[in-house]
Each structure stands twice: as structure tokens, then as C-alpha cells.
Chains A and B, each alone.
Chain A
Amino acid sequence: MADQMMAIAILLPVAAGFLVLAVRNYYVRNVIVIATAVVLIANSILLSLRGPFTYTPGGFDWGLLITVLDYAILIFYLYVGISLRNWLVLIFALTQILPLAYFEFVMKAHIEVAPAFVVDHLSLVMTMVISIIGSLICIFALRYMYDHEHHAHIEKSRQSRFLFWLVLFLGAMNGLVFANNLVWLYFFWEVTTLCSFQLISHDRTKEAIHNAARAVWMNSTGGTAFILAIIYLYATQGGSSALSMQSIIGGGIQSSIAVLPIALLCYTGFTKAAQMPFQSWLLGAMVAPTPVSALLHSSTMVKAGVYLVLRLAPVYAGTYLSTVIAIAGAFTFFATSALAVSQSTGKRVLAYSTIANLGLIIACAGINTPLSIAAAILLIIFHAISKGLLFLCAGTIEHQIWSRDIEDMEGLAAKAPLTTLITAVGILSMFLPPFGMLLGKWIALEAAYIVPLAAVFFVLASTLTIVFWTKWLGRLLQVLPKIERPFEKLSLSYSVPLWTLLTGIFVVGIGIGPIYQNFLRAATNDVVSGNQIIAVGLNNLILTTPSFMQRDILGLFPVWPLYLILIVALLMPLLLIRVKPKELRPVYMCGEQTGAIDTDEWLAEADRKTKFQLGGYYYQGTLGEKRINPWANAIAILLLVIMLGCGVIVL
């Protein structure tokens, strides 16, 4: 039963993708995507309820198929590199295809890894995140792409193609988190890179293609490191049995020798998670239609990067590599949070915030205690929900004001109250108590003291996080004393994903105690122990539970009082107190306004009527990209070199 469900998780999106590609009718296509989404969501929940299992598909030479497809993808990159005259793409396609060919034809590698798939609790958490949030984003994309093409006056619809890659992405991600065979994992890894290339370049503008090419070559350096790690493991650790993720994390190989391949694999994770200095590919990906960003940032792609680093945590536990990973992640968290302050484009703020939070998650993996691993898993979940919601909000806003600029969002509360309300809750959920992201940060800070430098970066980054979110929120919520307007109407394709994710923030946030007890505790256990006790039981390892969760066991549950505070502080005044129209006054402008109370006109010099305009501060001079990037990238590259150096020195 479980194997069929796993097949559904991986292959259904592929099948649905091809079906969508073939169907040209808008409504039929919608039905297919929605049905796929519903099945995927239900499937992932049922799979999680069923629990961990392993599986090796038989009856067909899947390995051969995967090898053929590997080469097909790499040859496609060669083609992309040549046709765009982008030598970086070409070079890093070659650095993958040549070692791969060497591995298979010269070394005559015979790969037989059993089981091919191992689904543990971490995989289950990931597949829930991918299937549920990813599916919602696909539903959102239905209407979004329709509006997008409508607005751009595109004659020949390319929505089918777009949805094909979008849906396929989910299948590849599910495969990635289930795979135990490293060669297969590499294949799914490449498929996600391919999907992201196709989706980023979707609009076919020069900028889009250029940025997509950058995403490919940066991720290809990661792919190269992945192949080198595979070859190294195969050559030094006794053949294909070393290519099983389980044997690697379970200590089946001599870990003292295996530091170099692990460092290489972590490097691969860094590229995909867009850690500094690779942040530019994820920022460039912003040119794509917003559902792509939502998918890349919340549930797929970048989460694959953190998944790999997190998965490998037990192997590098206690090594210098671990400390360097913690510091590198924490540094990215800090530097990108500072960069986010200077950004005036909504999607770029979101992008920097994503990179920052991924840095936090990676730092948690590097800190490498049960507590920090628990924090990492919590952050993956909460970040996926909140960031998915925020990108969908950014898309909805974009289709209402046709701009991505934060300054253009001034006073959105008056124009589109419902969208603004949802966005505001989304933003609050990113950095304030009682929401999940903050709980994650709280636990991370508690765990971080082991690596004090990381803890200091956490502190600085958390503060900068407050600054850039509050600035944006301030621009959104600024309103003239106007009469209330009714909520705007949103298409169902927009509102269903938005409301679901919004509900998700609260359900997962409030229910975090029970969810942790029943589900995440096991996932943490699996990561920390390297799945060694998968069959025995989960209580062999004593987990240090965060203080608020320990008290949960005693029946005193201190997360809900925080929500109570939120209700008393914001929700109750919002619902109970009504400002009467006669109480409204114009703002203080020394009496120079002209006309009604909701005027924003005043008498400027020579009594000329002028609309007064307010703008946000962006601190370009101190925190701009030009000022920070050279330093930050240099430090980040240095940290990467040290990270890989850790692997070499141990040799």
C-alpha cells in the first residue's frame, strides 16, 4: 500500500504534468490540476499517518531510465550553454557530464542500492510541506497565469507549458526527499534544477533567460560537487553500498575518511539553498511569474538544499565542519537580513528574507544538537507556510496594482483591505510572537550558545528582521482617514490558497505542542540518530525538548496564552471599537490642508496646491547592495573555502 502511495507522490505529478501539457482548454486544465492537488494533499497526509517505510521498485530497470534521463538533462544544459553563448553554463554542464561518464564507463560502476527509497519521519514532514503547500501554489497559478497573460497581451497561451513544469516540480521534490540511492537523489536534484530553469525563463525576456542561466550554472557547480562526492564515496568506501544515504548517516562508512564528500554534499546544499555567495540566482529568479517564486521559496528547490544539509547532520556532528556550517549559515542569516533593509521591491525583500531564514535553518543543522535540529524542522515548516502565503499575497497585490514596488503599496489598506489584512498577518507571522517562525528562532537561540559566534549573528539578524518587516508593513497599512470600504472580491483560485495558508499559520502555530509530540519529535529523532532506531522505536534517544514543550507534557501549555495576548491586543480592538466618521480628523499639517478630512493636498510654497507624499527609508548608503555585497560575499566565500578545507585537511 505504502509503495503505491509513494508512486502517487512521485509519478502522479509527472503524469498530470504531461496531461496538462496536452490539454489546451483552460477549464479542463484547471480540473486536472485541482484534482492532482487534492490527491497529492490527501496522499501525503495518509502517507504520514502510515509512518516510515522502505521500498525498492522492481520489474523494470529504473536505474537505466534514470541514467538516460541524467544524460538527457545534462546534454540539454550543454545545448543551453552553446545556444545562449553562456560559457559558465557550458563549463559546469561539462564538469558534470564528464565525471558522470567517467564514473559509469571507465570505473564501470555497478550501482545497486537497496532499499532505493527510505521514507523516514523527516521525509514525511518534507513531503507534507511539498505536497500541501506546493499544490496550493499550483492552484493559485491557474488564475494567476491567466491574468498574467491577459495583462501582457500574450497571443499564444503558454500556460500549459508553465503548469507542466510547475506540477512536475512537486514530483521531483517528492522523489528527492524519498530517495536513498545517492545516484537517484542526484537525478531528482537535477530535475529540480531543470524545472527551475524552465520556470524562471518562462517569460522569455532577455533578463528572464539570463537569470535562468545563472540559476543553472550556480546549481550546476553544486551538481558537480554532488557527482564528485558520489565518485569519491564509491571509490574509497567499497562500491555501491556506500552510495546509500542510510549507510552514510548511519555511520556505515568510516566517518573520519568521509568528511570530504560530506563537505562537498553540504556545498551542494548551499548552492541550492542560495546561501551567500550564491544568493544572486534566487534573487534573479524573481523575474519569473510569482507562483514560481512562491514555489521555489516555500516548499521546493531551496528546501531541497536545507534538506540535504539537515539530513547529513549526524555524519558531521562534532567535527569542525559542523561549526563552520553553523557560522556560515548564521552569517548568511545576518548579511541577507541587513541587505533586505535596503530593498524597495517587495519580492526582493521576500527573497532576502528567504535566504536569511534558510541560513538560520542551516545554522541550526550546523549547531547539531537535538534541540537545534528540532528548531530547524520547525522553521522549515513554518517558513514554508508563511513564505508561501506571502508570495501568493505579493502576486495578488501585483495583479491589483500591477507593481512590485513597496512604495506603490502605500495605502493598500484603503484599496484592497482583504489582501492587505492577509498580507499583514503573513508578515507578522514571520517575525513576531506568538507565531511559529518566532518560536523556531526562540529555540534556535536557546540552542545556539554552543557556537557563540552564531548566536551573536542570530541576535543581530533577528533585530534587522524586525526593521525590514515593520517598514514594509508600515507602508501597506498607511491610510488616510477615509470611510471604510467593503472587502474586495478575489477569484477562488486566489482566495482558496490564501485562506488555507492563513488558517495553516494559526492551526500549526497553536497546535505546535501536539504536532511536535506526535510527529516532529520522531522526525528530529530520525535526523539526529541517522535513522538507526527506525524499527525499534523512538524513545531510545532522550530528546532535550524546548522548555515550552516540556511544560506541555505537564498540561500547562504556554503557547496559547501568547495567542490570547494577540487577541486581546489587536483582534479585540479591531473588532470591538469602531471609529465613528464624526471622530475622524485630518492629520497635523499646521492647518495647511485644503478641502475634506481625507485630503492629502496642502498648500506648498506660493500657496500652490500640492499632494504631499511620504516615502519609506531604505538606508541605501549604509546597507545597500553595493556597499555590503563585496564584503559579505568575500566573507561567505572564505567560509565556503574553510568548509571545504575542513574536508581536505581531515584527509
Chain B
Amino acid sequence: MMIKQFLFVLVILVGAPVVGGLLFGIDRRITARMQGRYGPPIIQPFYDFFKLLGKEHIAVSRLQFVWIYGYLVFMIASLIFLVMKSDFLLLVFLLGFAGVCLVLGGFSTKSPYAHFGANRELMQILAYEPVLLLLAIAIYAQNGSFLISEIFKQDKPLLFTLWPLFLAVLYVLTIKMRKSPFDISTCHHGHQEIVKGVTTEYSGPYLALFHLAEWYEIILLLGIISLFWTNPLWVGILIALAAFLLELFIDNITARMTVGWMVRLSWSVGLILGIINIAYIYYTKGVS
């Protein structure tokens, strides 16, 4: 049993970046088509990744690589928590640590551009973290447990009762995928960028680590979305993929907004959705 679980985790850990990288390739291709361009090959992210890995190590501070490793490892750890169907709240906390690592990586240099990016990344955390924590509480309200394995035991999908929070999680996905209008700390397709935001001072292999972490992150996020429909799981996965395509669409029809706007939107609309959702479960279901 243990060995089987271990192998399963191992497969996911190897498979996640492959699928994640492919998703990013698809993203570039679809975005290009939406903009009337042809776009790079779908495996372009992997070409980029290996090119970066082969480059010389360059650093602007003795600590920044620690934080980029931390970002990667905590992201992987969160994914393991998801795959092991462990505690969802703890998963959110680990994901928070990953975000903090990225921010500290930006702060660890004396670079104005990295600092801009880091401050904005911190505001992004401020914008999405409450929604994820409220989601955890709503899951607890629904199932009486933070455990993801409990979600899988339920016949009725979470989406039926948690649809307001699902909407909130959709824009968390926009923030985390660094898509317009929330591509604030750094972005992918060179939209409108102050140098390269929080990643400005990363280059070569360290930048490759950042991309690797992003690949894990996209799988993790889509995994969280698929939790909304776990029986059968393939419906959830389809929902997650649809959400992914929706993000690409939103990215191409909106422009980047300001940090303040993002936080205000999240702390008003997002929180209200979450609170209404939890209040609804509280009054219909009571304390389980």
C-alpha cells in the first residue's frame, strides 16, 4: 500500500511538470492564434527550460537562490499534499510559504525592479490567500473535515453548494496564472512590463527553476479546481481545463489593472462570495 502510494506520488511529481510545460506551450499557441500570430511549437517551454539550464550561474545576491529553491520545493510539497489527499488547509499554508519565498527572493536583492515586483507579489498574496482559506473553511463546513480524502468520499460534488466560492477561485486562478487583468507582479507574454517584475534578477538555471515551479503550480491550481467535482474525477478535470481556457480568453481581452484595484476587488467581491457561501452552509446545514 505504502509503496503503491509512493510510486503514485513519484509519477505525479515527474508527470506534473511535463503536463504543466505542455499547458504553457498550448497557452502560447492559443494566445498567438487569438492575436493573429502563428505561435511557437507546443514544446517551446521545454526548449527554453533546457536552454536556461545550460547557461552559466549568475547571481546578484548570495541569498536569492535559496528563496527560488524554497519556492520550488514548497510548491512541490503542496502538490504532494494534494496528491496524497491530505489536509487542504495545510496545503494552502504551504502554498502561502511558496509565495512568501518568491517575494523574499525579490526583496533579497537591492534591485528597484525586483522590489516593485516583490511588493506586487505580496499584494497578490493578500488578494488570493483569503479566498483559498475561505474555501478551506467552506470545505470544512460541507464535509466536517479539511481532508481532501473526505471530498473524494462525497457523492455530491462540491460545486453544487460551493459555486460562489468556485467563482472566487476562478479569479484566484487568474492571479496565480499571472494573467491579465492580474498579471501584476510579472507576466508571460510581455504585455506591459516593468522589466520582468519579481523575476528581474533571476537568470540562467535559477530562472529555469522559477519556470519549473510555475509548471507545478499550474497543475496544483487545476487540481484544486477539479476538487469541485471529484465523483467522477474526469468531470472535475474537464472543468479545470475549461477554466484554463477561460483564463487564456480573459487574458487576451483585458488589460493589466493596478494593484490597489485587484486587492479591493478581491476583498470586496471575493470575500462577499465566500462569506455568503459559508453563511449559507452554516444556516442550512448547521454545525456538523
Contacts and interface: CB of A to CB of B under 8 A. Distances in A.
Interface in A449-494: 449-450, 452, 455-456, 459-460, 462-464, 466-467, 470-471, 473-475, 477-482, 484
Contacts of B125: 463, 466-467, 470
Contact of A547 (B62, B72, B93, B145): B145
B103 A470 contact: yes
A565 B104 CA distance: 18
A12 B3 CA distance: 58
A456 B278 contact: yes
Contacts of B59: 481, 579, 583-585
Given A459-B134, A470-B122, A565 B112 contact: no
Main SS class of interface, B: helix
B65 A577 contact: yes
21 contacts: A413-B63, A432-B96, A432-B97, A455-B278, A470-B104, A470-B125, A473-B104, A477-B63, A478-B110, A479-B62, A547-B147, A569-B70, A570-B101, A573-B70, A574-B66, A577-B65, A579-B62, A585-B59, A588-B200, A614-B110, A614-B112
A586 interface: yes
Contacts of B103: 470, 474
Interface residues on A, range: 35 or more
Contacts, number: 167
Interface string B44-57: 00000000000011
A645 interface: no
A450 B111 CA distance: 46
Interface string B132-148: 01101100110001110
Interface in A597-621: 600, 612, 614, 617
Interface string B22-65: 00000000000000000000000000000000001111111101
A482 B62 CA distance: 8
B66 A433 contact: no
A437 to B, nearest CB: 11
A449 B287 contact: yes
Given A473-B104, A477-B107, A433 B140 contact: no
A176 to B, nearest CB: 34
B90 interface: yes
Contact of B66 (A462, A565, A570): A570
B84 to A, nearest CB: 10
B217 interface: no
B194 to A, nearest CB: 11
Interface residues on B, range: 35 or more
A470 B69 CA distance: 17
Contacts of B137: 445, 448-449, 452, 455, 459
A478 B200 CA distance: 15
A568 interface: yes
A600 B58 contact: no
A644 B147 CA distance: 39
A565 B141 CA distance: 29
A385 B108 CA distance: 27
B126 interface: yes
A569 B101 contact: yes
B22 to A, nearest CB: 26
A614 B89 contact: no
Contact of A463 (B62, B108, B129): B129
Interface of B: 56-63, 65-66, 69-70, 72-74, 77, 86-87, 89-90, 93-94, 96-97, 100-101, 103-104, 106-115, 118-119, 122-123, 125-126, 129-130, 133-134, 136-137, 140-141, 145-147, 195, 200-201, 271, 274-275, 278-279, 282, 287
Contacts of A456: 134, 271, 274-275, 278
Nearest to A590: B195
Contacts of B90: 433, 442, 562
A438 interface: yes
Contacts of A585: 58-60
A487 to B, nearest CB: 14
Given A456-B275, A477-B108, A481-B61, A449 B140 contact: yes
Contacts of A433: 90, 93-94, 97
